A = this chain, B = another copy of it.
Amino acid sequence: MRAMSKKLQQANLEKKLRDFEQACRSADLKLTHQRLEIFRELALAVDHPSAETIHKRLKKRLATLSLDTVYRTLSTLEKHRLITKVETVESQARFEADMDRHHHAICRQCGTITDFNWRSFDDVQLPHEISGWGRIDKKNITLHGICEKCANAGRAG
């Protein structure tokens, strides 16, 4: 849902990686090979992968990478607010490296999570009913439904 040229995507990824390295230094996190690759994989992914999925994908390049390192790394990066855990209804946790304000649409058929922006919503005031609740850090929308691809596959097959 976010059109972007290949060139721009590449530049974007490189900036993200530079920012990541900087953030690790500031936070006294060591820039290990595994850590860097896990972050890069997540920054590159558009499907909000789980720890297991990231591990599976990296195994091809990093044969010795262990699943518990992936878990530990994701947990560390989340603690330092360099990545986010996505709120879902699934049993496996899913992650993203995009820390800009955005929202999610989840297909309950194929599980794909798609990002979208909604600037006018981001700035709107919350209803009075919840105004006394406390300090709000984030307001996320999650759409649930059936994506176009699955809807068509259902009709076809």
Point out which of A134, A135, A147 has the most chain B C-beta atoms below 10 A from its C-beta.
A134
Interface size of A by CB at 8 A reads 42
Kindly list chain B residues whose C-beta atoms are within 8 Å of the C-beta of A2.
Answer: 129
Pick the residue among B85, B105, B136 that contacts A130 (CB under 8 A).
B105
Does chain B have a CB within 8 A of A151? yes
Q: Which residues 60-84 of A sit at the B interface, judged by CB distance below 8 A?
A: none
Among A28-36, A42-50, A110-118, the stretch in contact with B:
A110-118
Q: Which residues of A contact B (CB under 8 A)?
A: 1-2, 85-89, 91, 93, 105, 107-108, 114, 116-118, 120-121, 126-127, 129-130, 132-151
